[in-house]
Structures are given as structure tokens and as C-alpha cells.
Amino acid sequence: MKSLRSILVGVALASVFGTVVNVQAQGLKDVQTPDTPLVLKAQGSFFVGGEKVEQTQGELGDLGPGGHITVNQMYVRYMVPQGADGNVPVVLVHGATLTGKSWETTPDGRMGWDEYFVRKGHPVYVPDQVGRGRSGFNQAVFNNVRTGSAPGGNLPRWIRFSDEVVWPNFRFGSKADAPYADSQFPLTAVDELSKQGVPDVSFGGVPNPNPTFKALSDLASQVHGAVLMGHSQSGEFPLAAALLNPSVAKGLVLVEPGGCPTNYTDEQIKTLATLPILAVFGDHRDTPTGIGIRPSWQLSFESCQTLIGRLKAAGGQAQMLSPTETGIRGNSHMIMQDKNNLQIADLILQWIDERVSKRSGASK
Amino acid sequence: MKSLRSILVGVALASVFGTVVNVQAQGLKDVQTPDTPLVLKAQGSFFVGGEKVEQTQGELGDLGPGGHITVNQMYVRYMVPQGADGNVPVVLVHGATLTGKSWETTPDGRMGWDEYFVRKGHPVYVPDQVGRGRSGFNQAVFNNVRTGSAPGGNLPRWIRFSDEVVWPNFRFGSKADAPYADSQFPLTAVDELSKQGVPDVSFGGVPNPNPTFKALSDLASQVHGAVLMGHSQSGEFPLAAALLNPSVAKGLVLVEPGGCPTNYTDEQIKTLATLPILAVFGDHRDTPTGIGIRPSWQLSFESCQTLIGRLKAAGGQAQMLSPTETGIRGNSHMIMQDKNNLQIADLILQWIDERVSKRSGASK
């Protein structure tokens, strides 16, 4: 674990270089090679869920005749460490306008949480949410509007965040190019984070309820129980997946969730109170985001405090991890990519060891 | 390498089970674990290319104010084997309506070419084409049509192939659920292949020339030279990338390309004649595809024969690999996923060893 001193050195460097961000070209040359090899029992990818639909020639883009395709499937990439049988798997789900890439190599070329959790002995599964990345989306309505068989107003919107919005919304600073002096985000690599952005059709273009909930629950079942970790938009997905099948949700980690539901029934609270739940929030939560539907992340934090209170009152063991309160300052919304990302990962791993593995009798 | 006998056993099984395809559920349970661990010096992901554009609030989906985003970047996942310094890297590019997933775990759970080439000592880089998967696409025009600021006719089309078209187009059989008796494709997993399909906007929704060409050339440069391998739609991409910077294109492998360009200038032919080039085609090429713009893959095969002829006449060493002609029957368009996929990979690896590595002085 990084010392507080090394963190403070990072803070000082951020202060020095804070005004020259957004100019440095990044790329493969900045990607770091670990000191020791990664030994995998297995790696690969597969799909969870999906359903067959029949579409017309026009809906399929008019290259060939109509017929059936699969939609609403969820792509999952996985790595299983060698010699770690019995350890609890961890599923890492990304946020809005992003893909599973969020958890891989950081924008400045350091090890992502996907590999770090594997190196700590956990099988890791990284999906792309249904409707995003390698999971694809249902293109029929877009082609129908193109050919005039549906009005433009039928289109769901595609969301992306501008770089200017990312700065305050992800809390690198109060506004674009004005970093917080203690920011933990690798500010010279903000342009690399910008490349991780993909259009997000989940605001209207994905079925309701989101098929990702069921796919996550089914994935947890297929691996015989898992810690489900969501981030931001998907921060509350582990709760939704657990309610579908609590027996396979071994632990829920809500990393900077957009919000924690405040309308659960007592029955739902009773179910969730049986599970280890951890909410994780970074610093500078009162930064005005510039986004109307979520004026500040402090509101998200408070909704999770409310949920944790209800769960505790029902006998649950939900808790908040806010590194700020232990003197670790400057963590951003993209906490898994922050300069102290492995320090934060260690805190979560410690929680998994104590609250999930020991409880379930897993090796780790 | 699989013996001809084991291939014939596969053929027999395909004949027995050929009529019960499209019904068996697949998933993680079918994913196989290799006998020996995979030891990686490094793995992760990064981006190549991309450019900043300024977009309006509406173009960005109206969640926050307008500003800059990055578009036309190319996502790349990589694995570098331990103890293989000096071996030539291999870049694997996917085809239409697909993503880098094409090269990963096969639909029936066997090892993909990505891992196999790593196990054979080559660093492997797997991109998603610009406009697809984790590379994202430019969503502005879709949001403009949605808000009425552009007509529906402005929309580029999104292509997907129906399962019914995939059967003859990928040459599993003459039509849906009518497999060739000798088909090498894992027919019980056709539904899993269906899940790999994602909408493809490259027919009008990606800049011309496709930014993927430059990104592939830049990627080859960043890794100090690479074998560029394309498939189907991207089968000719290695040629386009090599013409941008022939010095870093150590070898070009065109796997079942949609076609080989027949309009190269003599100057371009002269450049390409300096490079090792291999075209790879499977069996049953005269199957009517059901797609107007490419009635049969035999036409693609013949266009590559024409190109190879021109390259040879210019002193080049281009060649055709058609396993059918050596008695290996039944390979499909998805040859990297066929039951004998590792046997085909061995033939390509042998070519790389002889024509690329020995030529350039690489270890392998």
C-alpha cells in the first residue's frame, strides 16, 4: 500500500503540472510493464443472456434479407489467476458513456483494477453493459427512421459527456483545466480518458428493466457466487442484480454510484440486509457538476447514507468507505483510475476478505 | 497440430449433430480451461489515434452542455507473452458487424487465436475498428435527427446480418440449418456466434478513408513493426495500412477478405511487392451468399488471385493459403473459430516464421 507520504508527493506534482494538462500525447509508449509476470489459469470472453428478435431487411441495414438476430446480450471478458481456486470472483461493471475499458490499464498507463484483483487472487469478470461496446445494441429504430418508416422523434438519445463537463462532473477540478491541488486523477492523461468515451443509449434505448441486471445475476450464478461491483451509472446495478437472486450475490460494492435507491420496500431492505454492502465515494463531492439531473455527487453520497441507515436498522452490515475521512484526499469520480487506485483497491480487498470471504468460507 | 484423422472424426460428429443446431444453450459452462497456465509479461489496453471535435448540447444527447469530445479513436487490447522478447507482434482485426471478440474464445468455448498466438510466443494486439465496440462512434448525426435539426435521410445505416444470412454467407451450409456435412464450424454454437453481432456503421458512418487504416499503421509503428492480420471486411485493411508506412508492416495476412483491390497503381504494387503477403480462404466458396453486393466468396478469392499475380509479376512473394487444396475440407468464413482453428493458425504461424521472422531477423 502506498504511504501517505508518497500520496503527498503525488499531490505536489499535480500542483506543479496542473496548468499544463490536455496537451501531452499518450499512447502505448506510456503503458507500464509490471515487475512480475501475470500467471493465468484461464482468460477469454463469453456472453450472458440475449434474446432472438426478427427484423426486416430495412431494420438490418438493407445489406441482406430480413431474419433473426440476437439483442440484449452482455459481453464478458475474464481472467482467472493460477493457483487461486476457491477465491471469490469479482465482477466489475462500468458507468455511463464508458465500457469495461474503465477497469483496464489507466489513462496514464498504470495497472487497472482488473489485473490488480487477479494478482490478489480473485477471478475477475469485466462486462460491457447491454447496449454498449462489445455487447452491441438494437439498431432497428435507427434504420427505420433512416428509411422513413418511423419519425425522428422515435429515436432514443445517445449520451456523451464533453471534456469540459468531465472536469467538474468527475471532480478533477471545479471546471475544465482548473484541477484541484490535491487531485488524485492523473491529470496529464485527461485526453486519454476522453478516448474511453462511447455513445450511451441506455437513456431510452435499452429495455426497462435494464437486461444488464438479470445478466449480472446470471453471471454471478454461473461462477457460483461473486462480488458485484458497479461504478457511477451502474453503481446501483449490484443491488438490482442481488434482488433477483440474493444467494449468488456474495458482496456488493457500489463505487461512486449515481445514487442509492431510496424507495425500496421493507421486504427488499430485508433481503439486502442479509448481504455485505460497501459504498465507496471520493473527495470534492460538493463540486457543481454542470449536469441538471445530478447537481452534485454529495446528493448521491447522501442517498447512499440513507440506504445504509435503512439496511443497518434492518440488521444489515452495509457501510460507507470514504477515504477522505481517513485523510486520503483528492480522489475523483474515476477512483479506479486515480494515482492511488491500488491503495483504494487494497481497502476494498480488505473489506472483501473480512466481510465476504471469511463469511462464506472462501479462501479469499 | 491436429491429425487428418481427428478432423475426420469432427466431420462425422458434425454430420450426426448437424440437424439439431440452434437449440443448445451455451455460456460460461462450455468455456474450456487450458491444460497449462498462460504466463504474460504484460496485458492491458490503450487507444490509437482519435481527434477532438466540438459538439452542441443536442449532439451530445442533451444531458449536459456542449463542448469537445474525442472521436475516431481505436481501442486495442494486448497480451505480451513472458520470455519472448524480439518476436514479431501480431495485430488481429475483425470483420463487419463484429468486434475484436472474433479472435477471443470461440463460440463453443475453445481457445481463440488471440491466446494461441501469444502461447506461440507472439505479442498480440486486438483492436475494435473505429466506429465499433469499445472504439465508439460519432453519435452527433443521430441526435441531430432526433431533435429535428437534420433529416432522417442523413442517417448512415447500421448493418447486422441475420442468422439466416450468416449460414450461407459464412458458408456453414447452403442455407440456414442446412450445414455442409464437412463443415468445420462448431454448429452447435451458431447461436453464440449470433451474440457476437453488433451494429456496424462503417457503411457511411465512418470517415473516408477509414481512420482504422492510419490507426493500424500507427499501431504497427508503436510496436516497432508487426504482422497485420485482417478478416473479411478488414481483410484488405493490412494492405491499406502498409501503403501508409510499409516499413512497419512486417507481414500482411488477409483472412477471407471481402475482396483484394484490383485498382492499385504500379507504384502501389511496387511497394506491396516488398512485403510478405498471405491470403487465406476456406472451403465452399461458391455458396450463394444471399447478399447482393457479394454473390459468392469465390469472387473475393479470384480478386486476391489477381492481386497476387500482379505482386508476383512485380517480384513480390505474395501467396494464397487455401487449406482445401491440401485436403483440409469444410473450413468456413469464420475460420479462426472453426473446429480446426488451431491447425489453420499453425499454417499461418509457419508462414510468419519462414517469411517474416527469418527475413527480419526476429527470434520468431
Place of cell 478478416: B231
Q: Does B194 touch chain A (CB under 8 A)?
A: yes
A276: its cell numbers: 455485505
Residue A328 is predicted with a pLDDT of 95
Give Cα A174 to chain centroid, integer Å.
23
Low-confidence ranges of chain A (pLDDT < 70): 1-26
| pLDDT tens by residue, B106-139 | 999 999 999 999 999 999 999 999 999 999 999 9
Across A282-306, b (16+ Cβ under 10 Å) vs e yields bbbbebebbeeeeebbeebbebbee
Question: A159 vs B38: CB contact, 8 Å cut-off?
Answer: no
- Residue B270 has a CB neighbour count (10 Å cut-off) of 14
Q: Is residue B354 a contact partner of residue B321, using CB atoms and an 8 Å limit?
A: no
Please report residues of A whose CB lies closer than 8 A to that of B45.
101, 104-105
Which of these ranges, B25-29, B87-91, B174-178, has the smallest mean pLDDT?
B25-29
**Angle formed at CA A231 by CA A225 and CA A237, multiple of 5 degrees:** 50
> In angstroms, rounded to a whole number, what is the distance separating the alpha carbons of residues B95 and B234?
5
Residue A230 is predicted with a pLDDT of 98
Burial class (CB in 10 A: 0-12, 13-18, 19+), B188: buried
Question: A67 vs B163: CB contact, 8 Å cut-off?
Answer: yes
Q: Does B261 touch chain A (CB under 8 A)?
A: no
Among A63, A72, A102, the strongest candidate for a mutation testing the B interface, having the largest count of B CBs within 10 A, is A63
| pLDDT tens by residue, A252-293 | 999 999 999 999 999 999 999 999 999 999 999 999 999 988
**Does pLDDT of B155 surpass 80?**
yes
Q: What is the chain A residue with the closest CA to B112?
A: A44
Percent of chain B exceeding pLDDT 90 equals 87
pTM for the model stands at 0.93
Q: Does A169 touch chain B (CB under 8 A)?
A: yes
Q: Given its phi and psi angles, is residue A82 left (phi above 0), alpha (psi -120 to 50 degrees) or beta?
A: beta
> In angstroms, rounded to a whole number, what is the distance separating the alpha carbons of residues B331 and B338?
7
Among A31, A134, A291, the strongest candidate for a mutation testing the B interface, having the largest count of B CBs within 10 A, is A134
Residue B87 is predicted with a pLDDT of 96
> How many residue contacts between A and B have a Cβ separation below 8 Å?
278
Distance from CA of A291 to the nearest CA of B (A): 5
Residues 283-322 of A with CB under 8 A from B: 289-293
3-state secondary structure of B182: coil
**Segments of chain B assigned E as strands:** 38-55, 67-81, 90-93, 124-127, 173-175, 178-179, 226-231, 249-255, 277-280, 319-321
Percent of chain A exceeding pLDDT 70 equals 93
Residue A28 is predicted with a pLDDT of 84
Nearest beta carbon to residue B136 from set A37, A165, A198: A198
Nearest beta carbon to residue B63 from set A115, A153, A159: A159
Pairing, β A226-231 against β A90-93: parallel
Among B21, B82, B103, B198, the strongest candidate for a mutation testing the A interface, having the largest count of A CBs within 10 A, is B198
Length of chain A counted residue by residue: 364
Question: A155 vs B145: CB contact, 8 Å cut-off?
Answer: yes
Please state the rounded mean pLDDT for residues B306-332.
Answer: 96
Residue A358 is predicted with a pLDDT of 86
Q: What is the chain B residue with the closest CA to A219?
A: B28
Q: Does A37 touch chain B (CB under 8 A)?
A: yes
> In angstroms, rounded to a whole number, what is the distance separating the alpha carbons of residues B169 and A63?
12
Q: Does B153 touch chain A (CB under 8 A)?
A: yes
Nearest beta carbon to residue A199 from set B77, B139, B292: B139
Residue B26 is predicted with a pLDDT of 61
Nearest beta carbon to residue B194 from set A62, A69, A289: A69
- Three-state SS string across chain A, please? CCCHHHHHHHHHHHHHHHHHCCCCCCCHHHCCCCCCCEEEEEEEEEEEEEEEEEECCCCCCCCCCCEEEEEEEEEEEEEEECCCCCCCCEEEECCCCCCHHHHCCCCCCCCCHHHHHHHCCCCEEEECCCCCHHHCCCCHHHHHHHCCCCCHHHCCCCECCCHHHHHHHCCCEEECCEECCCCCCCHHHHHHHHHCCCCECCCCCCCCCCHHHHHHHHHHHHCCCEEEEEEHHHCCHHHHHHHHCHHHEEEEEEECCCCCCCCCCHHHHHHHCCCCEEEECCCCCCCCCCCCCCCCHHHHHHHHHHHHHHHHHCCCCCEEECHHHHCCCCCCCCCCCCCCHHHHHHHHHHHHHHHHHHHHCCCC
| pLDDT tens by residue, A228-246 | 999 999 999 999 999 999 9
- Residue B319 has a CB neighbour count (10 Å cut-off) of 14
Nearest beta carbon to residue A222 from set B29, B45, B161: B29
Please report residues of B whose CB lies closer than 8 A to that of A289.
64
Distance from CA of B185 to the nearest CA of A (A): 17
Please state the rounded mean pLDDT for residues B188-217.
Answer: 97
Please report residues of A whose CB lies closer than 8 A to that of B55.
160, 162
Give Cα A241 to chain centroid, integer Å.
14
ipTM over 0.85: yes
Place of cell 442517498: A303
Residue B5 is predicted with a pLDDT of 35
Nearest beta carbon to residue A134 from set B101, B112, B289: B101
Among B48, B69, B91, the strongest candidate for a mutation testing the A interface, having the largest count of A CBs within 10 A, is B69
Residue B21 is predicted with a pLDDT of 30
3-state secondary structure of B323: helix
| pLDDT tens by residue, B264-305 | 999 999 999 999 999 999 999 999 999 988 999 999 999 999
Q: Does A161 touch chain B (CB under 8 A)?
A: yes
Length of chain B counted residue by residue: 364
| pLDDT tens by residue, A51-82 | 999 999 999 999 999 999 999 999 999 999 99
Q: Is residue B319 a contact partner of residue B347, using CB atoms and an 8 Å limit?
A: no
Question: B152 vs A136: CB contact, 8 Å cut-off?
Answer: no
Whole-angstrom CA distances from B170 to A79, B182, B298 are 30, 14, 12
Averaged confidence pLDDT in chain B: 92
Angle at which helix A237-244 crosses helix A211-222, to 10 degrees, equals 60
> In angstroms, rounded to a whole number, what is the distance separating the alpha carbons of residues A227 and A238?
9
Residues 204-243 of B with CB under 8 A from A: 219, 222-223
Question: B162 vs A61: CB contact, 8 Å cut-off?
Answer: no
Distance from CA of B17 to the nearest CA of A (A): 22
Please report residues of B whose CB lies closer than 8 A to that of A45.
101, 104-105
Nearest beta carbon to residue A61 from set B64, B137, B157: B157
Please report residues of B whose CB lies closer than 8 A to that of A128.
134
Among B92, B119, B162, B294, the strongest candidate for a mutation testing the A interface, having the largest count of A CBs within 10 A, is B162
**Segments of B197-318 assigned E as strands:** 226-231, 249-255, 277-280
Nearest beta carbon to residue B157 from set A143, A148, A158: A143
Pairing, β A38-55 against β B38-55: antiparallel
Task: Give B15's pLDDT tier (boundaries 50, 70, 90).
Answer: very low
Q: Does A337 touch chain B (CB under 8 A)?
A: no
Nearest beta carbon to residue B65 from set A37, A39, A165: A165
Please report residues of B whose CB lies closer than 8 A to that of A40.
37-40
